[in-house]
Copies of this chain bind each other. A is one copy, B any other.
């Protein structure tokens, strides 16, 4: 069902998600996840700090993709171009083979308030980091914060659409669609 392979870390994530889905997040212990993945609990904790992290791990890498693209841009790149670069940088984190896993993961998160809060916290961190990065590059306020908030809004709306039931278009297309909608909206204001 929810495959996304290989390696111990990925196997633990796939097994955990399957258990969360079939038996509930709260009812699933780390011992059970480890047993199903045929590793020791100690191995689990070598990969993940705690049970929720099995759903959130890798997000540092995601933050990196988001911000590396901004860091690599030449001096004087306009703020909205930096927003586009950050979003383009995030696209690689959402290949087609990840979509089924992301969909199942979201069902678990939506059913578990504490996980929903952790998810919101991660988005808030993303906004804060991006705002800092833009200010470091000389973008003034309130533009830096508006740009960071806008980037994260486009990101999370694109992600929500990417995992919507009948959506088949790639993540990149959905990001562009939302950026274009924002641009058209602001420019049509007259």
Contacts and interface: CB of A to CB of B under 8 A. Distances in A.
Nearest to A184: B143
A104 to B, nearest CB: 23
Interface stretch (A7-15, A39-47, A87-95, A175-183): A175-183
Nearest to A127: B153
Q: Is the interface of A mostly helix, strand, loop or mixed?
A: helix
Interface stretch (A29-37, A50-58, A64-72, A76-84): A76-84
Interface string A100-123: 000000000000000001001000
Interface of A: 78-81, 83-84, 117, 120, 142-143, 145-147, 149-150, 153-154, 157, 161, 177-178, 181-190
A84 B189 contact: yes
Nearest to A141: B181
Contact of A146 (B81, B84, B120, B182): B182
In order of increasing CB-CB distance, the 4 nearest A-B pairs are A80-B189, A186-B186, A143-B181, A149-B153
B147 A80 contact: no
B79 A178 contact: no
B187 A187 contact: yes
B183 A157 contact: no
A185 B84 CA distance: 12
A182 B150 contact: yes
Contacts of A149: 153, 157
Contact of A183 (B78, B79, B186): B186
Nearest to A186: B186
Given A83-B185, A117-B117, A146-B154, 12 more contacts: A78-B189, A80-B185, A80-B186, A80-B189, A81-B189, A146-B181, A146-B185, A147-B185, A150-B185, A182-B186, A183-B186, A183-B189
